[in-house]
């Protein structure tokens, strides 16, 4: 028995404006979606995965980007050619969509229940007030929100990220659509929240027998929920098939390459590092007071971002600082490098407590501690040439221009860029290349301690793998101590010797990576590990890759 | 090897400029504005050569001669003469110099003082920030022209003092803009990175942050250029700006006020040129905003 597809896309082309990188955002894409299945579209940034779904929803930024060829067949008609008004009828009622940013996708000045009402009234459904009210409560209950009455009466800012995403899902499903399109709905969420949302989507999909198109860049998520998978690259489909086959026996070299770059969750047992201690942190405390405004401000709520944090890093050792957002992991890194002032505690480095040094005394220490930042787009000054950016540190510390320029050339070679780059501006480079430049900048100071603050989180998996490799290579070559701040347990498992798990400013578990991953002691660590998407999937290795 | 580098570099800069130009010239108004201002600038530069007469010499035989396109006009005095027999065209030509002079000096003061105060406020936060910003709030609490009038009354009426007064009333806008822009840049990691290198405050301010704040400041400066000309004209009209016989456009308006009914062209010509100049500069400002700061571009 062959099932009938609810959505068919035939040879879809989406054109881009003239000056764009390529002619088509989506090129010759054909796919079918069947009821009751989750179809995952995977690809790196710029692969056209979001464009395909936006084309289905009629959400392309016309007139610059438009469907130039092909058809999208839904309920017997080609919805790529119908009028905007007809499309509005379909949107929301028959095809629902959820977005990546739950913060911006909800109207901030409208109560949740009011926003849900909007969905009904905009589709002109003849329902009494009481019926609508009952429906709203029912919907909020369906998406697993506790106390639906209270939630309905709240404004979006009063809800957490996970709760907002649940409200979004409730809105998308309000009119019981047959298709749900989810565009990276869990990317902005913490790993435990992500696990809950994924479970919720899978449950609702089964219950209502919907077809779900799930767009993601994360193979872990794919392993968790997908029935079928489509792999996209530069607007084209490179491979499609059922999840089992794609994840474990992909045939296309690009898919193999992508999958092989996914970090393994199972940590390897590593030799304990016994060299000298480079940095030792004891009882580090940092609180943030929310000061309410200007001249007449008062002290408000106090948040503990770091509470009695102790840690040590040895020469050639990588310590992973993992935790969810708001756990204070970045704060600890920034306190050690003195970007933030800490309240109390000590950071021993080179025999000195650097927290008590004056700015002037701190100067010679600065070059020993360097940082790599998360966002490769914000961490390089857009108005300065790469050469100036890399040589800024050495010049401040009194090294001659010629000498530091020479060194910058060598460093660029080390991080895998040509020295021509020195004369260019940051916008001419891709995210991965920029991150390499950021690493070169940190290395220009010949540091002893390198703090990587979510250094690979903003990068695509394949680029991420390269940067991780580079970091590891540099660490061994230069015998650096490294503090690796990350929220991604897979990455942490791969690169760290030791792991410190943080929750609400405190370190709840601290030990060798292998021990933490295979025998977690603290409940929180266990729940974090439990929540990693696709944890049962063992990443296959390929001979060719 | 070095050839390639140089060529690449040249093309990057060239790209930036040509990108700006493509964006700019799509705005027709901005293009016409630029043409008008360019012509006016040339006239201002070569004023002594272009002007047929001295701007202050009085030809007593030809009082209030109408311009050429009105009956009774003469080719000797194309724009006519004023009540004292001075050639209007020569006065207009020399007056254009004063307009640019006012614009540039006011903008120079606003930019330097505004940027320094704005950056200091953004970098110090806390007490000094509060002092600077509250002082700016106080200046902003006065109607600008009234404030300028009061300042001129204290300093004494002259073109220079009028420019100082105008600059003072404009500075708060520049301080606020610089501070807001600098604060948003300060949150970015490239600044953190420089801090971890041990960069000094001055270095952070002027080498790292300032260049990233310039785009909106340039737009604001262009817009203020025209307002400065307008305000200087207003002060001149009220007798508090340039003093006769200076051929400043606003003062010319004031001088001819009493002839508005009998000889309307006396006021029309300087009035029209003030209008065109201000309009052109504003149009250029619009075009520059589109080209320099894509974020501020209105949706089309």
Is residue A526 included in any domain, yes or no? no
pLDDT surpassing 80 at residue B293? no
Distance between CA atoms of B194 and B197, rounded to whole angstroms? 5
CA distances for A65 relative to A61, A69, A475, angstroms: 6, 12, 45
Distance CA A184, CA A216 (A): 5
Average pLDDT over residues A1-12: 80
Domain boundary among A126, A142, A174: A174
Q: Is the pLDDT of residue B10 over 60?
A: no
Q: What residue ranges define each of the domains in chain B, with the CATH number in brackets?
A: 2-296 (1.10.3720.10)
> Considering just the CA atoms, what is the radius of gyration of chain B in Å?
23
Q: Which of A363, A379, A420 is nearest residue B189 as measured by Cβ atoms? A: A379
pLDDT band at B298 (very low <50, low <70, confident <90, very high): very low
For the record, the structure tokens of A309 come out as 């944090």
Residues A213 and A106 in one domain: no
- C-beta of residue A539 within 8 angstroms of C-beta of residue A465: no
Flag whether residue B181 sits within 8 Å of chain A, measured between CB atoms.
no
What is the DSSP annotation of B114-159?
A: HHHHHHHHHHH-HHHHHHHHHHHHHHHHS-HHHHHHHHHHHH-SSH
pLDDT reported for residue A1: 40
In a domain, A466, yes or no: no
Inform me whether the C-beta atom of residue A299 falls under 8 Å from chain B C-beta atoms. Answer: no
Give me the phi and psi of B270, to 5 degrees please. -65, -35
Residues A43 and A170 grouped into a single domain? no
CB A346 within 8 A of CB A511: no
How many alpha carbons lie under 13 Å from residue B19 in its C-beta half-sphere?
10
Q: Please, what is the Cα angle at B183 between B178 and B189, to 5 degrees? A: 130
Among B196, B201, B202, B210, most A C-beta atoms within 10 A, so best to mutate, is: B196
For residue B255, the model assigns a pLDDT of 84
Give the contacts of A351 (CB within 8 A, at least 6 positions apart). none
Check B198 against A363: CB less than 8 A apart: yes
Give the mean model confidence (pLDDT) for residues A269-288: 85
Give the mean pLDDT of B179-184. Answer: 92
- Based on the domain organization, do A84 and A183 belong to the same domain? yes
Does pLDDT of A140 surpass 70?
yes
Asked, for residue A534, whether it belongs to a domain, the answer is: no
Alpha carbon of A337: minimum distance to chain B alpha carbons (Å):
7
Residue B300 has pLDDT above 50, yes or no: no
Q: Which of A233-242, A536-545, B8-17, B209-218 has the lowest mean pLDDT?
A: B8-17
- Provide CB contacts within 8 A for A9, sequence distance 6+: A29, A30, A31, A32, A52, A56, A70, A71, A72, A73
Distance of residue A61 Cα from the nearest chain B Cα, in angstroms: 12
Q: How many CB atoms lie within 10 A of CB B271?
A: 18
Res B295 pLDDT > 60:
no
Closest partner residue to B192 (CB to CB) among A339, A383, A393 is: A339
Q: Which of A159, A174, A189 is the last residue of a domain?
A: A174
Hey, are the CB atoms on A373 and B193 less than 8 Å from each other?
yes
Residue A150 lies in a domain: yes
Quote the pLDDT of residue A39: 93
Q: Which H or E element spans position A483?
A: strand A481-486
Please tell me whether residues A14 and A139 are part of one structural domain.
no
Q: Is A249 on the interface with B (CB under 8 A)?
A: no
Residue A70: closest CA among A111, A123, A25? A25
C-alpha to C-alpha distance for A369 and B119, rounded to whole angstroms: 28
Q: What is the pLDDT of residues A489-540, one digit of tens each?
A: 888 888 899 999 998 888 999 999 888 988 899 999 998 888 888 877 877 8
Q: Is the pLDDT of residue A338 over 80?
A: yes
- Give the residue numbers spanning the domain of A88: 1-94+178-260
User: Taking the CB of residue A486, how many other CB atoms lie within 10 A of it?
Assistant: 23
Helix or strand or coil: residue B258? helix
In the block, tokens 């920030």 appear at B129
Nearest chain A residue to B185 by CA: give it.
A378
Instruction: Answer whether B51's CB lies under 8 Å from B69's CB.
Output: no
pLDDT of residue B299: 38
Given pLDDT bands bounded at 50, 70 and 90, which one contains residue B137?
A: very high
Number of H-type helices and E-type strands within chain A: 20, 20
Residue A300 has a pLDDT of 57
Question: Does A445 sit within 8 Å of B197, measured CB to CB?
Answer: yes
Q: Are residues A81 and A186 in the same domain?
A: yes
Q: Using an 8 Å Cβ cutoff, are A335 and A306 in contact?
A: yes
pLDDT at B195: 86
My answer on whether A121 and A71 are in the same domain is: no
Question: Residue A194 belongs to a domain with what CATH number?
Answer: 3.40.50.300
Position A42 in a domain: yes
Residue of A392, A437, A458 to mutate for B, most B C-beta atoms under 10 A = A392
Helix, strand, coil shares, percent, chain A, to 5:
40, 25, 35
- Please count the structural domains in chain A: 2
Mean pLDDT of all residues in chain B? 85
Q: Indicate whether A285 belongs to any domain.
A: no
- Indicate which of B198, B207, B295 best probes the interface with A, i.e. most A CBs within 10 Å of its own CB: B198
Confidence of residue B4 (pLDDT cuts 50, 70, 90): very low
DSSP for A141-210, please give it.
HHTT-SSHHHHHTS-GGGS-HHHHHHHHHHHHHTT--SEEEEESTTTTS-HHHHHHHHHHHHHHHHHHT-
One domain for residues A122 and A41: no
From CA B40, how far away is CA B43, in angstroms rounded? 5
Whole-angstrom CA distances from B277 to B33, B37, B111 are 8, 7, 21
Q: Which residues in chain B are closer than 8 Å to A363, comparing Cβ atoms?
A: 198
For residue A303, pLDDT over 80 is answered with no
Contacts of A438 in chain B (CB under 8 A): 193
Residues A52 and A140 grouped into a single domain: no
Asked if pLDDT for residue A483 goes beyond 70, the answer is: yes
Give me chain A's average pLDDT, please: 85
For residue B286, name the pLDDT band (cuts at 50, 70, 90).
confident
Give the residue carrying structure tokens 């400041």.
B217
Alpha helices, H only, A415-508: 431-443, 461-478, 489-495
Last residue of a domain, one of A146, A174, A202: A174
Rounded mean pLDDT, A342-364: 87
Give A59-62 contacts, CB < 8 A, sequence gap 24+: A59/A97, A60/A14
User: Percent helix, strand, coil in chain B (nearest 5)?
Assistant: 75, 0, 25
pTM for the model stands at 0.78
Q: Which of B255, B224, B259 is nearest to B95 (CA)?
A: B255
* Closest alpha carbon within chain A to B208: A381
Buried b (16+ CB within 10 A) or exposed e, B199-231: beeebbbebbbbebbbbbbbbbbbbbbbbbbbb
More confident residue, A21 or A34: A34
Which residues share a beta bridge with A288? A303
Report chain A residues whose CB lies below 8 A from the CB of B137. none
Kindly state the average pLDDT of the residues B3-24. Answer: 61
Whether A78 and A216 share a structural domain:
yes
pLDDT of residue A2: 58
Specify whether A4 is located in the same domain as A90: yes
Give a three-class secondary structure readout of A343-409.
Answer: CEEEEEECCEEHHHCCHHHHHHHHCCEEEECCCCCCCCCCCCCHHHHHHHHHHHCCCCHHHHHHHHH
pLDDT number for residue B169 = 94
Residue A472 lies in a domain: no
A196 and A79 within one domain: yes
Q: Residue A291: pLDDT band by 50, 70, 90 thresholds?
A: low
Task: List the single range of A186-190, B32-36, B118-122 with lowest mean pLDDT.
Answer: A186-190
pLDDT band at residue B57, thresholds of 50, 70 and 90?
Answer: confident
Please indicate whether residue A290 or residue B41 has the higher confidence score (pLDDT).
B41
Q: Give the separation between CA A301 and CA A296, rounded to whole angstroms.
A: 16
What is the pLDDT, as a whole number, of residue A301? 64
- Between residues B75 and B139, which one has the greater pLDDT? B139
Lowest-confidence region among A110-124, A331-345, B10-24, B77-91: B10-24
CA-based R_g, chain A, Å: 26
Do A191 and A166 share a structural domain?
A: no
- Give start and end residues of each alpha helix (H) in A496-535: 513-518, 523-531
Chain B interface test: which of A381, A437, A440 (most B C-beta within 10 Å): A381
Q: Identify which of B130, B196, B211 has the shortest CB distance to residue A366.
A: B196
Quick one: DSSP state of residue B209?
Answer: I
- Is residue A184 one of the residues assigned to a domain? yes
Mean pLDDT of A181-198: 85
State the residue for tokens 């690259």.
A233
- Chain A CB within 8 Å of residue B22 CB: no
């Amino acid at each position: 028995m062959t099932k009938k597809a609810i959505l068919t896309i035939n040879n879809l082309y989406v054109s881009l404006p003239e000056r764009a990188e390529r002619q088509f955002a989506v090129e010759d894409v054909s796919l079918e979606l069947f009821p009751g299945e989750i179809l995952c579209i995977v690809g790196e940034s710029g692969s056209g995965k979001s464009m395909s779904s936006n084309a289905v929803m009629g959400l392309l930024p016309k007139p610059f980007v438009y469907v130039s060829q092909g058809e999208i067949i839904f309920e017997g008609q080609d919805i790529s050619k119908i009028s905007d008004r007809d499309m509005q009828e379909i949107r929301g009622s028959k095809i629902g969509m959820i977005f990546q940013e739950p913060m911006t996708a909800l109207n901030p000045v409208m109560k949740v229940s009011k926003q849900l009402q909007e969905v009904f009234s905009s589709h002109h459904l003849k329902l009494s007030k009481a019926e609508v009210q009952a429906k709203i409560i029912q919907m909020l209950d369906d998406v697993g929100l506790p106390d639906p009455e209270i939630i309905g009466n709240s404004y979006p800012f009063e809800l957490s990220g996970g709760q907002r995403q649940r409200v979004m899902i409730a809105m998308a499903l309000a009119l019981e659509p047959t298709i749900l399109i989810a565009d990276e709905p869990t990317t902005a969420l913490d790993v435990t929240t992500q696990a809950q949302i994924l479970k919720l989507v899978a449950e609702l999909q089964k219950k209502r027998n919907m077809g779900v198109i799930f767009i993601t860049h994360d193979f872990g998520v794919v392993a968790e929920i997908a029935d079928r998978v489509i792999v996209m690259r530069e607007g084209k489909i490179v491979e499609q098939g059922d999840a089992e086959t794609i994840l474990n026996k992909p045939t296309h070299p690009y898919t193999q390459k992508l999958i092989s770059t996914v970090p393994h969750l199972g940590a390897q047992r590593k030799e304990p590092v016994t060299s000298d201690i480079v940095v030792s942190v004891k009882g580090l405390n940092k609180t943030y007071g929310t000061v309410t405004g200007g001249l007449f401000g008062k002290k408000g709520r106090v948040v503990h971002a770091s509470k009695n944090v102790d840690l040590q890093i040895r020469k050639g050792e990588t310590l992973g600082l993992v935790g969810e957002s708001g756990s204070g992991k970045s704060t600890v890194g920034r306190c050690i490098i003195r970007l933030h002032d800490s309240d109390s505690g000590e950071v021993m480095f080179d025999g000195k407590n650097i927290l008590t040094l004056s700015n002037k005394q701190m100067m010679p220490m600065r070059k020993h501690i360097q940082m790599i930042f998360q966002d490769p787009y914000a961490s390089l000054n857009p108005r300065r040439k790469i050469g100036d950016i890399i040589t800024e540190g050495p010049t401040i510390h009194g090294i001659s221009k010629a000498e530091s320029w020479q060194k910058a050339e060598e460093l660029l070679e080390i991080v895998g860029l040509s020295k021509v780059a020195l004369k260019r501006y940051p916008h001419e480079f891709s995210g991965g290349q920029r991150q390499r430049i950021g690493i070169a900048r940190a290395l220009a100071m010949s540091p002893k301690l390198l703090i990587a603050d979510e250094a690979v989180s903003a990068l695509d998996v394949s680029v991420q793998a390269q940067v991780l490799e580079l970091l590891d290579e540099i660490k061994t070559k230069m015998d650096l101590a490294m503090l690796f701040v990350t929220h991604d347990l897979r990455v942490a498992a791969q690169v760290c010797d030791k792991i410190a798990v943080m929750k609400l400013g405190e370190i709840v578990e601290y030990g060798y990576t292998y021990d933490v991953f295979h025998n977690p002691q603290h409940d929180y660590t266990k729940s974090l590990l439990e929540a990693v998407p696709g944890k049962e999937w063992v990443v296959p290795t390929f001979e060719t890759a | 090897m070095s050839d390639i580098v140089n060529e690449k570099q040249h093309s990057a800069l060239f790209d930036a400029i040509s990108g700006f130009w493509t964006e700019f010239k799509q705005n027709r108004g901005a293009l016409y504005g630029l043409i008008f201002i360019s012509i006016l600038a040339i006239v201002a530069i070569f004023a002594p050569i272009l002007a047929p007469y001295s701007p202050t010499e009085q030809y007593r035989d030809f009082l209030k001669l109408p311009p050429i396109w009105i009956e009774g006009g003469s080719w000797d005095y194309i724009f006519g003469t004023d009540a004292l027999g001075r050639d209007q065209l020569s006065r207009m030509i020399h007056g254009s110099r004063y307009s640019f002079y006012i614009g540039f000096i006011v903008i120079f003061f606003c930019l330097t003082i505004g940027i320094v105060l704005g950056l200091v406020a953004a970098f110090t936060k806390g007490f000094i920030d509060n002092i600077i910003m509250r002082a700016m709030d106080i200046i902003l609490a006065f109607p600008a022209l009234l404030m300028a009038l009061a300042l001129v009354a204290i300093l004494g009426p002259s073109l220079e003092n009028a420019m100082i007064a105008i600059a003072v009333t404009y500075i708060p806008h520049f301080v606020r803009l610089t501070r807001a822009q600098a604060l948003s840049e300060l949150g970015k990691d490239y600044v953190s990175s420089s801090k971890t290198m041990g960069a000094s405050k001055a270095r952070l301010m002027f080498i790292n942050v300032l260049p990233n704040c310039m785009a909106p400041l340039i737009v604001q400066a262009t817009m203020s250029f025209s307002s400065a000309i307008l305000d200087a004209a207003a002060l001149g009209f009220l007798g508090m700006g340039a003093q006769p016989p200076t051929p400043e456009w606003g003062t010319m308006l004031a001088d001819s006020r009493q002839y508005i009914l009998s000889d309307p062209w006396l006021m029309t010509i300087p009035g029209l040129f003030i209008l065109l100049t201000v309009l052109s500069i504003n149009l250029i400002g619009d075009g520059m905003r589109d080209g320099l700061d894509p974020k501020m571009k209105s949706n089309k």
